Amino acid sequence: MILGIDEVGRGPWAGPLVVGAVVLGEAAIEGLTDSKKLSAKRRDALDVLIREQAAGWGLGWVHADELDTLGLAESLRVATIRAVEAIHTPYSEIIIDGTINFLKETSKGKYVTTLAKADLLIPSVSAASIIAKVARDAFMAEQAAVHPGYGFEKHVGYGTALHRSAIDSLGITPLHRTSFAPIAKIVKAELEQFQNISNQLTTKQVGDSGEDRASQFLTAQGHTILNRNWKTKWCEIDIISFFDDTVFFVEVKTRKNAHAGNGFEAITKTKLKQMTFAAEYYQATHPNLAVYQKLAVISITASKLEYLQLE
């Protein structure tokens, strides 16, 4: 009754860190080994068997934003704890792949053995590596549809030439780990470039530049831009876009630098009422509009672009 633990996603530029935990119990599953040594088809088949036959299994997730806050070492510890907490079957020993006991500071730490290459040697650890790898790859494939053009279904967030080319063309996404050196370097370069340009622009030019970037961002996400700077005597909307049977009424807030504050802070209750009125007025003048509508805000501060739906 060994609880095997292994992680996937320590080194990618984007996406979550995932820790798998498995107690095989009486299950005897042939072909278990390090997930990296298996084809995707074989991993998927074994993943089904593990979930069906193992006495217990669990996954611990730490996504990019949390990883950037916690750091990699702490994220590994947190993800391991989360994976173990998902196990509700008895076990007598814990084996973690590698040389670090991520449960050392918990009540389970004294039951842990660390072992390099355990994913090759211990079936339950192999199983943990497989379910973590399959779960993470599936998540990144789903994100490829959310963030088209990045090829997440191919490189699953790792630093390939395809991934770097996509970042150069489209910028970074919320999936990207901005604390990792390659992404941090890209963000810094974009920040310097944007600040150099914005320092030479008027407030209106900065706003127009921000709306251009916001339109590019939405288009990259699969939106069709219906209108830009739609104005009437009583109201205006920066961008109106269509995506997934929904019309988005988008307010764009651009700041020259971080000292100017976050653009989302400008969305007060009064501003929200103004946005709602503008959206309702647009609907009234466009009777064939899609059934679903949402208010949205894009905040751009220097090189940082964020997307937030206000429903």
Summarised one tens digit per residue, pLDDT across range 88-131 is: 999 999 999 999 999 999 999 999 999 999 999 999 999 999 99
Structure tokens at 48: 């089904």
Percentage of the chain beyond pLDDT 70 is 88
What's the CATH fold of domain 2-155?
Nucleotidyltransferase; domain 5 (3.30.420)
Using the predicted structure, report yes or no on whether residue 186 has a pLDDT greater than 70.
Answer: yes
Residue 198 reports pLDDT greater than 60 = no
Instruction: Give pLDDT, residue 221.
Output: 84
Q: Residue 288 carries which DSSP code?
A: T
Report whether pLDDT(5) > 80: yes
The count of other CB atoms within 10 Å of the CB of residue 229 is 12
Q: Does domain 202-310 have CATH number 3.40.1350.10?
A: yes
DSSP 3-state of 27: coil
If pLDDT is split at 50, 70 and 90, which confidence band does 261 have?
A: low
Whole-angstrom Cα distance, residue 231 to residue 33?
A: 62
Domain range list for the chain: 2-155, 202-310
Q: Is the pLDDT of residue 8 over 70?
A: yes
Model pTM?
0.68
Alpha helices in 147-262 (DSSP H): 152-155, 161-170, 181-198, 203-220
Q: pLDDT at residue 310 above 70? A: no
Q: How far apart are CA 228 and CA 293, in angstroms?
A: 17
Q: Are 300 and 253 in contact (CB under 8 A)?
A: yes
Q: What mean pLDDT comes out for the span 251-264?
A: 71
Which token pair is 216? 């590019």
306 band by pLDDT with thresholds 50, 70 and 90? low
SS3 292: strand
C-alpha count within 13 angstroms, C-beta hemisphere, residue 179: 15
- Residue 280, CB-side half-sphere exposure with 13 Å CA sphere: 7
Write the single-letter amino acid at 190: E
In 3D space, the residue among 131, 147, 104, 129 whose CA is nearest the CA of residue 243 turns out to be: 147
pLDDT of residue 259: 56
**54 band by pLDDT with thresholds 50, 70 and 90:** very high
| Separation in Å, CA 277 to CA 91, 147, 245, 266, 292 | 59, 30, 21, 17, 16
